[in-house]
Structure 1
Amino acid sequence: MDWDKLRIFHAVADAGSLTHAGDTLHLSQSAVSRQIRALEESLNTTLFHRHARGLILTEQGELLFDATRSMSKRLDAAAARIRDSEEEVFGELRVTTTVGFGTLWLAPRLPQLYNKYPDLKIDLILEERVIDLPMREADVAIRMKEPSQADLIRKRLMSVRMQLYASRQYLEVSGTPQSLEGLGTHRLISQNAQSAQVSAGALLVREIMSHDVGSFLTVNNYFGVLQGVLHDLGIGLLPDYLAEDFPQLVRVLPEVESNEVPVFLAYPEELRHSKRIAAFRDFVTEEIFAHRRKRREQSA
């Protein structure tokens, strides 16, 4: 099968338009159209339904697009590995992690990485769902559980526990509960037990909600929970790594916490020698060490 025709087909399927694909490929619309017709003739099938609003893939076209998309990702991976053979760290690095960890821990620390590697381009993908690393939906992931996908290199970074926190001003006004039963006069801010989150956090939410809590505010990510706590709205269930960066948080009911949540860094085996991956891995590891050291100093 002619790779050049497949490349053009992939661009058309991705853009949904001959004109837009031609702009991307620097070809005329008629040249793109001829290549698509020739590909359809060679396969003896129709790849697109043609409508006034654009092109829609047929069932056969969808099958071919799945194949070309996979080929494109493999070619991107090969190109990345070739670029990584250079001495300098540069180019795009797609990093995925959860919304909470990405916004509250990782993003604030990225200036140190950019200061060291100014030519690195981070594409930060914040999602609760597990992104497929072997299929190159991202290059590297930080996950709140050990990855189960095959062909991944994984490194345990640290452990996190969910704990209860409030602002000093809130506690001065509303008082500090001495037990879970004392939450009857307070507002609990947390993720909903059914929302996407680490299982240890969901279990602790259910346990706390089984007591007589005065009021609730549920948010679908920890960034929202933190904002509620910082604005004196109630007592929030938050990951313990926030205590370092937000000294205005006061821990409430120290005996109440979730089980440990392991935090792993993972990336595909094929990127083992990637200098971009190594730079990011070393940066995160150094920040974790600094985080641990600061927590030990605070508790001393």
Structure 2
Amino acid sequence: MDWDKLRIFHAVADAGSLTHAGDTLHLSQSAVSRQIRALEESLNATLFHRHARGLILTEQGELLFDATRAMAKRLDTATARIKDSEEEVFGELRVTTTTGFGSLWLAPRLSKLYERYPDLKIDLMLEERVLDLPMREADVAIRMKEPSQADLIRKRLMSVRMRCYASPEYLREHGTPERIEDISSHRLICQNPNAPQVAAGAGLVARLLGNDVRSLLTVNNYFGVLQGVISNLGIGVLPDYLIEDFAQLERVLPDVESVEVPVFLAFPEELRHSKRITAFRDFVQEEVIAHRRRIRERGEQDPMGAT
């Protein structure tokens, strides 16, 4: 099959328009149209439905687009590996992690990585959906569970537990609960039980809500929960990796916490030799170790567990 025709087909399918694809490929609309028509003739199949608003893939076109999309991702991987210098770290690195961990722990530390590698371009994708690393939806992931996808290199970074925290101002005004039953006299701030979150966090929230909580604020991510706690609105359910960066918060109900949540860093096997991946992995591991050391020096219980 003609690779050039496939390249043009992929551009048209992606753009949904001969004109837009031509602009991307620096070809005239008529040239693009001829190549698509020739490809359809060679396959003896119609790949697009034509209508006034653009082009829509037929069933046969969808099958071919799935194949060219996979090819494009593999080519992106190969290109990234080729561009990795033996001496330098540069180029784009797509990192995916959860909204809470990414915004509250990872992002505030990235300045150190940029100081070390100023030519690195990081695309930080914060969402609860697990992106497909082998299909190159991202280059590296930090997740609150061990990845199940095949062909991934994975490293356990640390452990996290969900605990209850409040501001000193809130506790001075409303008192400190001594037993889990006392939570009924306080406003609870937590993730919405229906929002995507780790099972351990959902389990702890369910346990707390089982105590006749009369005032409640739910948010769909931990960043919002933290803002509520800092604003003296109530007692929040938060991950314990906040203990260093938000030292003003006080832990309440010290005997109440979630089960352990393992945190993993993972990336595709084919990126094993990527300098960007290696630089990011080493940076995150160094930050985890430094974080744990500072917690121990303060004489507090290490929330991150053994790596």
Query: Quick check: TM above 0.5?
Result: yes
Cα deviation digits, residues 194-222 of structure 1 (max 9, x gap): 32111111111111111122211111110
* Distance across 2 between alignment mates of 1:184 and 1:140: 42
Question: Which 5+ residue runs of structure 2 have no aligned equivalent?
Answer: 301-307
Q: Aligned-pair distance for 1:85? A: 4.5
| Local SS of the residue matching 1:241 | helix
Matched, 1:231 2:238: no
Instruction: Write out aligned runs for 1:58-207 (5 A).
Output: 58-207=58-207
Aligned residue for 1:10?
10
Q: Which amino acid aligns with 1:68?
A: T
Percent of aligned positions that are identical: 79
Cα deviation digits, residues 235-281 of structure 1 (max 9, x gap): 00000011111122111111111111011100111111110000000
Cα deviation digits, residues 126-168 of structure 1 (max 9, x gap): 1111111111111100010111111111111010000000111
Cα deviation digits, residues 64-114 of structure 1 (max 9, x gap): 100000000000011111112532111111111111101111111111111
| Local SS of the residue matching 1:171 | helix
Please tell me the root mean square deviation across aligned C-alpha atoms, in Å: 1.0
Aligned residue for 2:282?
282
* Distance across 2 between alignment mates of 1:75 and 1:87: 23
| Local SS of the residue matching 1:22 | helix
Give TM-score scaled by structure 1 length. Answer: 0.98
* Distance across 2 between alignment mates of 1:54 and 1:118: 42
* Distance across 2 between alignment mates of 1:267 and 1:155: 9
Q: Aligned-pair distance for 1:294? A: 1.2
Q: Which amino acid aligns with 1:40?
A: E
Q: Which amino acid aligns with 2:164?
A: L
| Local SS of the residue matching 1:132 | coil
| Local SS of the residue matching 2:298 | helix
| Local SS of the residue matching 1:79 | helix
| Local SS of the residue matching 1:244 | coil
| Local SS of the residue matching 1:299 | coil
* Distance across 1 between alignment mates of 2:124 and 2:28: 35
Instruction: Write out aligned runs for 1:14-29 (5 A).
Output: 14-29=14-29
Q: Which amino acid aligns with 2:153?
A: I
Q: Aligned-pair distance for 1:193? A: 2.4
Aligned residue for 1:245?
245
* Distance across 2 between alignment mates of 1:148 and 1:57: 32
Q: Which amino acid aligns with 2:57?
A: L
Q: Aligned-pair distance for 1:174? A: 1.1
* Distance across 1 between alignment mates of 2:297 and 2:19: 61
| Local SS of the residue matching 2:158 | strand
Instruction: Check whether the contact 1:156–1:262 (CA below 8 A) recurs between aligned residues.
Output: yes
Instruction: Check whether the contact 1:19–1:29 (CA below 8 A) recurs between aligned residues.
Output: yes
| Local SS of the residue matching 1:159 | strand
| Local SS of the residue matching 1:248 | coil
